[in-house]
Amino acid sequence: MQAVPSSEVLRQAALQASWRRDMRVGLRRRAWRWVEWLLTRWCLPVLAAALLGHVPSSLQPDRSFVQVAPEGIVLKPSLTPNLPPQEKK
């Protein structure tokens, strides 16, 4: 037959169980706050931009390497790689 635990032992066990539960609840709440922050600050705006077809300028490819001459100016072939030769008028 088991001995009946004293009130102090029961109180200590209840406090320990309560503390463990508080730690789990706090951890879960912090995790959900981080998930909410991540979704509202990063994932949803990126998803909305992707659905709307908007690409931020920081993500657009660099087109500065393409050399296009203004009307009437002929570039030397060495400056325009992979471009077909222009016809002379």
Residue 59's pLDDT is 60
Q: DSSP for the chain, please give it.
A: -PPPPPHHHHHHHHHHHHHHHHHHHHHHHHHHHHHHHHIIIIIHHHHHHHHHT---TTTSPP-TT---PPTT----GGGSTT-PPPPP-
0.85 exceeded by pTM = no
Ordered by start, the domain boundaries in the chain are: 1-57
pLDDT in tens, 43-79: 998 888 888 887 666 665 665 655 566 676 666 665 5
